[in-house]
Structure 1
């Protein structure tokens, strides 16, 4: 079957060495239920001294006829060299895919090579499977068998299929709490998970701290080298709650800043960075992107080429939805006026872009070609305007789309010109739940609503946070198109049908201790052909009277949660 996923052109067609990344090729298989061992190595297979599947399994980028399967072998995930305590040799890894969870009906099986050059990671790209179906998969290395994962193919391109249960998440800072939200997400049994960035954080122990002290510690120094990034990914992937979320469903992943360094922009590092020079930062990007690919269920089109990686892409879910996964870091102009919340004339410069020209053209072309019921932008930073001051002077985030107003206007006008039926922007980054109407003119509250934005809080970043009256937040008063706010940890679970998209904002009371229960804080519905968000449920909260000082404190707390350290 021909792939229905539209591939983006290479963003920087430069002549750079391509890092060696292991890719397993699918092979036809018989129907026996026993997982066959890997074929013997030329010099004779040498048994591994322990379980190499300590980092779990994952799948991703589903298409109507297949998906990517991933694992990475590591005997000692916290080995300082980032290579997981593995021997410096290629290890054959068997894999199999079944149409039942007990592996009685094997659909495909084969072998892949886990090579030391790619930190013994394995990527298997499968095709030829049936559309709109659940599958289960597992791996074997020697006598060791991995946990089983659940995945699925996208519906047939001409079919809507049943309603899609899709969850989206972002911002999992290991030091700030337990990954209970990942576990609760897995228990929802979603069909698809979108991770919108900050999958891991770059800081060494104790740099990014929360009130009351961090819950657990990062291993190793700040991530700068390939060994550093591999070790950090290994530490995160060792968490069983995160592993459970990967095992539950296929993922679509995009990075934000912390997978490399806080608030980087194209070839420009953060101010006061440990890698201040152009050459040093590009080397750091190359290391970060290689480790990112090695640890994510991505297709071969995303194999890094030095400091460049192709991550923006389009995934179609039958006729129901098209997911336009964006990259708002690699091609952006530098943040205006030194970054932060500013009244900044650079923010409205028509030449500035957060996507770059090529990605913008790709996205606008996707709008014109789309026939989906829902066009969903999976991206990293706040899209709607958020002014934090009363009166005519605006102070907005230079790191978000507010710092690139003309870029936002062109994208919005693009979906209007293409008559996109239901544009919905999904966002991470800001460590709080938000829901908003997207406006033709944010300075005119009565202007036309032209889309919807749903923003997920963090998995752990900035710690527990606190519940509050969402309507009392001064951002909502100053910006009436902002409809909801909550500063607890969690995720968003959506149900996408032909007539509506329902979003449940899930929250946890704490991440300082593991095992907290999850609840629905609020539910919003976006109706077909009716842009904007409509609240249908809100859990009771403890209301407190807002004074002028408490409003100022809450504004500053919100900004601090997004911008520290």
Structure 2
């Protein structure tokens, strides 16, 4: 198993080298957390509303959350600076038990610096477990929208229910984020974002632009620089439905590939960008990801490296293991889609890297939760893509790393985990599948289930079926396939996990309704999906 070390390619380049590449100092990170004394030179007023990108919270613990906002008076300023001055800005925050802020429990301030795109990430502690709180920010006479968050339950508590959704793949130019408006109304405890928050492609009217929007030429180029990444996140975050979903519940986020470049693997660009250049791009991309999302200080980027994998506990009900299947994976040995070649089964290959794989198998073996959930990017189930007698697999998914998959599933079996659910994005389809001990034997033990939520907007409206449906449904462990846009909504209890596949009829214009395509209720201890078609699957 390989785990790439950035410094090896850069001949021992130091953290400071990479921080210089992106213009960030350690002090800027501390100021954004609110853990460093506010400097006397920090400005406390601005001439226009800086809260155009909304607010967010994330990574809840039993006693707190991280809060987020990024100041931008003109979010689409071409230079990516959001129309902000090149100076530090003091940002005050308040946390309350009620939406009217009559019972404020925390007050404080952080400093938004130009080095971090004028973002702040104050980490709030000392709150009560498993309780709703409300928060807002202030700069001068401007007050942000109000966000609602929820802390996690105490680690040893017997919480009875966890309501969550998963989302992924939100190409801004392919359609509207209407799914998020429906998610904001779902009264969720937490939302898991599984990757592709932005897309790096140029946006070109008459080609890939489906929204009614008049964009400048600065949006038409592939995103590769710090300034371009900042502008693309600003464009994405101006969407009101996305802002509403961020303000409605805490998010737990991870990335896939498009936050940097399509189908990248570790330090390898599929377009042949030299490693040194690509790592500098990755450093910029990782920094801007941090700038724009509610991440804790443990996800502070160190050049082109961030430890994104982590476990969140929801009492004794659920452990959620958040994965990063991009940063450490081995490269493609013979293209993205190959037959069952010996190199595919090389036991040294890993999609997780040595350190993350060791962490995950240890976390699974040490878990005492009723449910173990993987917040995962790419499909884990084996998918044979040859409609004939041969075998064809995608190297971009776990199929490219079967030895690594076997090791993870072996850890699940050895730990006697009976309720194992993989939550996945990436493919822009709704898919339900069983995770088999031996995918080549349909009668082998079912180790867990995989629930793949469709994209928020990527690939435009989609359809109920498409030309890939026969490929996926020929695999006997695949139970559901649908190519509409949408998301996954779940409720976990001690007795069962219920999964609703929510789909929208269109996204290329605003205002779509939402419906439940299929509902699967999985009893605890019975890792199997019914063989009924979606039309036969009861919705009540």
Name the SS for the 1:491 alignment partner. strand
Distance in 2, matches of 1:463 and 1:302, equals 32
Deviation track 1:66-98 (CA, whole Å, cap 9, x = no partner) reads 010000000111112211110111111110001
Go from structure 1 to structure 2 and tell me whether the alpha carbon gap of 1:469 and 1:128 turns closer, same or farther (over 3 Å shift): same
Structure 2 counterpart of 1:559: none
Task: Find 1:520's aligned residue among 508, 516, 521.
Answer: 516
Distance in 1, matches of 2:390 and 2:472, equals 17
Deviation track 1:502-539 (CA, whole Å, cap 9, x = no partner) reads 00000000001101001100001221111123478945
Structure 2 counterpart of 1:16: 15
Structure 1 counterpart of 2:175: 177
Preserved CA contact (<8 Å) 1:176 1:209: no
Name the SS for the 2:529 alignment partner. strand
Preserved CA contact (<8 Å) 1:348 1:405: yes
Structure 2 counterpart of 1:409: 406
Deviation track 1:28-87 (CA, whole Å, cap 9, x = no partner) reads xxxxxxxxxx99x74695631210000000000000000100000001111122111101
Correspondences of 1:87-98 after superposition (within 5 Å): 87-98=85-96
Structure 2 counterpart of 1:327: 324
Task: Find 1:104's aligned residue among 86, 102, 105.
Answer: 102
Preserved CA contact (<8 Å) 2:6 2:279: no
The two structures have a TM-score, normalised by structure 1, of: 0.87
Structure 2 counterpart of 1:560: none
What is the Cα deviation at residue 346 of structure 1? 2.2
Preserved CA contact (<8 Å) 1:177 1:216: no
Distance in 1, matches of 2:532 and 2:251, equals 28
Q: Which moved more, 1:78-87 or 1:356-365?
A: 78-87
Structure 1 counterpart of 2:391: 394
Q: Which moved more, 1:243-252 or 1:418-427?
A: 418-427
Unaligned runs of 5+ in 1: 1-8, 28-37, 542-565
Distance in 2, matches of 1:50 and 1:220, equals 28
The two structures have a TM-score, normalised by structure 2, of: 0.91
Distance in 2, matches of 1:536 and 1:154, equals 36
Distance in 2, matches of 1:181 and 1:254, equals 19
Structure 1 counterpart of 2:239: 239
Distance in 2, matches of 1:523 and 1:513, equals 27
Name the SS for the 2:443 alignment partner. coil
Structure 1 counterpart of 2:113: 115
Go from structure 1 to structure 2 and tell me whether the alpha carbon gap of 1:323 and 1:112 turns closer, same or farther (over 3 Å shift): same
Go from structure 1 to structure 2 and tell me whether the alpha carbon gap of 1:220 and 1:475 turns closer, same or farther (over 3 Å shift): closer
Distance in 1, matches of 2:205 and 2:395, equals 23
**Is residue 222 of structure 2 the alignment partner of residue 222 of structure 1?**
yes
Correspondences of 1:279-298 after superposition (within 5 Å): 279-298=276-295
Task: Find 1:189's aligned residue among 187, 190, 195.
Answer: 187
Preserved CA contact (<8 Å) 2:501 2:517: yes
Distance in 2, matches of 1:430 and 1:354, equals 17
Q: Which moved more, 1:220-229 or 1:434-443?
A: 220-229
Across the aligned residues of Structure 1 and Structure 2, the Cα RMSD in angstroms comes to 2.5
Structure 2 counterpart of 1:373: 370
Distance in 2, matches of 1:208 and 1:317, equals 46
Aligned residues: 516
What is the Cα deviation at residue 209 of structure 1? 5.1
Distance in 1, matches of 2:529 and 2:422, equals 12
Point out 4+ residue stretches in structure 1 off by more than 6 angstroms.
9-14
Task: Find 1:447's aligned residue among 444, 461, 465.
Answer: 444
Distance in 2, matches of 1:491 and 1:384, equals 19
